[in-house]
A and B are shown apart, each in its own frame.
Chain A
Amino acid sequence: MAENPPTTERAPRQPENAPDADSITTDAPLPEGPDRRDPQDVSELFRSRLHLLQSVPGALQHLFNEDVTGANVDPLVFYVAPLISVTIALMACTVLPLGPALQIANLNIGLFFILGIGSLGVYGAVLGGRATMRSLAQFVSWATVVALALISALLLSGSLSMKEIVQAQLDQGQWFICYVPVGFLIYFVGSMAESHPAGFDLPETDSGIVASYVAENRTNVTGFRGELHVLAEYANLIIVAGLAATVFLGGWLRPLASYRDRFPGTSVELLDVLPAIAMGAIAVYCFRLAAKQPARNRRLAATSAGCFCVIGALALAGALFAPGRVMQGVHGAFWFIAKVGAYIYCFRWIRSRTSGFRFEQSMRLVWRILIPLAFVNLATAAVAILASQDTGLPMRFTTILSTLVTLGAAAWFTKHQSTERAAPILDGE
């Protein structure tokens, strides 16, 4: 039997729609060409025709999934648990300010409200069967870290109301991240640990839980119940990002918010054309990307993203000539969403690059390094504020000194860790 003639050195034929470097969708679209098949369910239908909004029916199809539960679960409690998680996550969104007037509830105690409602989140985990002592200990510890980091920015603003915190950043002419950068970093690390820890610490090391409740590869959380859990997790992510944007990154403020030079003859400020220009640039990028796509569906997706950006750019530019409150609202929402997006981007980026901590490592990080550091940060920030008030030095100067002292303390804390191995933590502790 003659052997097959040797094939030339070529990579095996990829299906036409394989993701490549220019790919902008991560879910493989339905294959076209010889492998063509019909869409199997609603989600695939959306993916093949509309290509956007595919996550909506993708999530809703879980309403039709079989709900697999244990045999002796307590129905009242077990089915209410994801509802509790979702309700708490959405309630905390009511105090996030997108603009000076774009806030659902301007509570006097806004910041405290989010922390307090977040403390109820433990019920969602405990009642849903997803809690062990360790995960609860981690929750409490990291929540303490986050609260202490936020208090350092609270010192600078003098009020718990979210709107007044942003207003204070406008009045002082500086985002609070510039005054307490170490506080922001502590908050960043704490928020990564708090909003569910896949990749930050290793819940798989808990002997009591199989790692199947991690959002991307859950197996035992089925049906719409599981989708609600995922929704709660992503809503929590948005809340921590929104909190960081409001407290540290200036909320709805434009960068350089106190630079108020205008175009000659108009009432449009110079820097206010930045949002429209940015959206226009993104639209141009989307259209150029669309021209490079080989497949029809991805071309369509890129073109629609480009059109969306064009509409956004027009809205932002048009708002420049609208009455004051409309303009503040639209531009404020743009900057807030941009900051939240940037925060989530960095969050995901860093979380994808770090491996998890064991429970003892994570506890050691909290109680031996981060909480003492947070206290030092608080003390130095308070000294900086008082020094600036009493001596008249500008805040930028005193806070640079206080940041240097805090960083020195951080170096000291990390250097003086004892090298003993912790005693093994037994199951059931």
Chain B
Amino acid sequence: MLNSVLFYFFAALAVGSALVMITRRNILHAALFLVMSLLATAGTFLQLQAEFLFIVQIFLFAGGITALFVLAIMLVKPRVPEPATPFTKRRLMVTGAALVFTAQVLFAIVAGHSSLRLAARQLDIAPRNAEAVGDALFHSFIVSFEVASVLLLVAMIGAVLMARRGRNAFD
């Protein structure tokens, strides 16, 4: 019972804040509602007993990527101009695309409705979740892990090079 209440709370928060985010005019408000949506998603991860994913979602998405968004917004201070004319040119095509997309989503829900029930039983890997992720990462997915680390190294070196503006980049 508490499980469903919490799930519907987090789900409503995630969907609601995402909807609010795309209707905001102030871009900083939009970024903050994105953070709220990501945190609500992290809450659903925690409900699925995926603790590691929960904290990584907070650490990387909410605390890293969107923090970068907020910093960039505060640095650049974009001014959203008032829309001069309403967007009337392609109304027919846009409505058609929206209807097609809605039909796809409804089809997906109808076809897969049997799997939409909340899980009633506990999952097995719950107590050792972080260890299980570590095992998978270092046994099954070691190649991707190493490739990702090389990619991060390249990105860091590129960032350091780009930051040394005005100075000789090769000393």
State whether the Cβ of A108 lies closer than 8 Å to any Cβ in chain B: yes
Residue contact B59 to A109, C-beta cutoff 8 Å: no
Which A98-154 residues have C-beta < 8 A from chain B? 107-109, 112-113, 115-117, 119-120, 122-123, 126-127, 133, 136
Question: Are the C-beta atoms of B58 and A126 separated by less than 8 Å?
Answer: no
Chain A residues with Cβ below 8 Å from B59 are 112, 115-116, 119
Given contacts A74-B28, A109-B129, contact A122 B63 (CB under 8 A): yes
A123 touches B58 (CB 8 A): no
Q: Is B155 an interface residue (CB 8 A)?
A: no
Alpha-carbon distance between A120 and B55 when the two chains are bound, in angstroms: 11
In the complex, chain A residues whose CB is within 8 Å of the CB of B70: 123, 126-127
Q: A residues 393-407 with Cβ under 8 Å of B?
A: none
Q: Which A residues are CB-close (under 8 A) to B67? A: 119, 122-123, 126
Q: Does A11 contact B (CB under 8 A)?
A: no
The complex places the Cα of A98 from the Cα of B166 at a distance, in Å, of 53
Say yes or no for B167: interface residue by CB 8 A criterion: yes
**A123 lies within 8 A of B35 (CB):** yes
A1 within 8 A of B: no
Interface string of B43-66 (1 = CB under 8 A from A): 000000001101110110011100
Structural contact, B71 and A108, CB atoms closer than 8 A: no
Q: Closest B-chain residue to A117, C-beta based?
A: B58
> Are A109 and B130 interface neighbours, CB within 8 A?
yes
CA distance A35 to B162 in the complex (A): 66
Q: Across the two chains, which residue of chain B brings its CB closest to A120?
A: B63
Question: Which residues of chain A are within 8 angstroms of B131 by Cβ–Cβ distance?
Answer: 159
Task: Report, as a range, how many residues of chain B touch the other chain.
Answer: 20 to 34
Judge if A77 is at the interface, Cβ distance under 8 Å: yes
Q: Do residues A109 and B58 form an inter-chain contact, with CB atoms below 8 A?
A: no
Are B55 and A116 in touch, CB under 8 angstroms? yes
Residue of chain A at shortest CB distance from B35 = A123
**A127 contacts across to B, CB distance below 8 A:** 32, 70
B64, A119: Cβ atoms closer than 8 Å: yes
Residue among A117, A119, A136, A159 having the largest count of chain B Cβ atoms under 10 Å: A119
Chain A residues with CB under 8 A of B74: 126
Least CB distance from B22 to A in Å reads 17
CB–CB A107/B51 < 8 A: yes
Task: Return the contact of B29 from the options A76, A115, A117, A122 (Cβ within 8 A).
Answer: A76
B58 touches A108 (CB 8 A): no
Q: Is residue B26 contacting chain A, with contact meaning CB distance below 8 A? A: yes
Q: Which of B55-91 contact A (CB under 8 A)?
A: 55-56, 58-59, 62-64, 67, 70-71, 74-75
With A77-B28, A126-B67, A126-B74 as contacts: A120 and B58 at CB distance below 8 Å: yes
Whether A120 lies near B62 (C-beta < 8 A) is yes
Q: Which of chain B's residues have a CB closer than 8 A to the CB of A108?
A: 51-52, 126-130
A231 to B115, CA, bound (A): 46
CB-based contact B130/A160 at 8 Å: yes
A423 at the interface (CB under 8 A from B): yes
Whole-angstrom distance from the CB of A70 to the nearest CB of chain B?
15
Task: Provide the residues of chain B in CB contact with A160, threshold 8 Å.
Answer: 130
- Which residues of A sit under 8 angstroms from B51, Cβ to Cβ? 107-109
A-side contacts of B56, CB under 8 Å: 116
Contact partner of A74 (CB less than 8 A), chosen from B26, B75, B167, is: B26
Closest A residue to B129 by beta carbon equals: A108
Q: CB-nearest residue of chain A relative to B28?
A: A77
**Closest A residue to B163 using CB positions:** A429
Known contacts A116-B58, A123-B35; is-contact A109 B52 (Cβ 8 Å): yes
The complex places the Cα of A116 from the Cα of B129 at a distance, in Å, of 16
Residues of B within 8 A of A133 (CB): 71, 75
* Distance (whole angstroms) from the CB of B137 to the closest CB of chain A: 15
Report B133-171 CB contacts with A as 1/0, cut-off 8 Å.
000000000000000000000000000000000010000
| From B26, B29, B55, contact of A109 by CB (8 A) | B55
Query: Interface readout for A1-25 with B: 1 if CB under 8 Å, 0 if not?
Result: 0000000000000000000000000
In contact, B71 and A136 (Cβ under 8 angstroms): yes
Please, which residues of chain A bring their CB within 8 A of the CB of B55? 109, 112-113, 116
Cβ contacts under 8 Å, B52 to chain A: 108-109, 112
Report A-chain residues with C-beta under 8 Å of the C-beta of B35.
123
A111 to chain B, nearest CB (A): 10
- Mark A24-65 against chain B: 1 for CB-CB distance below 8 A, else 0: 000000000000000000000000000000000000000000
Q: Complex: how many Å from CA A123 to CA B68?
A: 10
Chain A residue with Cβ nearest B67: A122
Give the nearest-CB partner of B26 in chain A.
A74
A116 to B38, CA, bound (A): 14
Give complex CA distance A119, B64 in Å: 8
Q: Give chain B residues whose Cβ lies under 8 Å from the Cβ of A136.
A: 71
Closest 4 CB pairs of A and B: A119-B63, A116-B59, A116-B55, A116-B58
Contacts A77-B29, A119-B59, A119-B67 known; 13 new A-B pairs at CB < 8 A: A108-B130, A109-B52, A116-B56, A116-B58, A119-B64, A120-B58, A120-B62, A123-B67, A123-B70, A126-B70, A126-B71, A133-B71, A160-B130
Between-chain CB contacts (< 8 Å), 13 pairs:
A74-B26, A77-B29, A108-B126, A108-B130, A109-B51, A112-B55, A116-B63, A117-B58, A119-B63, A119-B67, A123-B70, A126-B71, A159-B131
| Residues in A lying within 8 Å of B, measured CB to CB | 74, 76-77, 107-109, 112-113, 115-117, 119-120, 122-123, 126-127, 133, 136, 159-160, 423
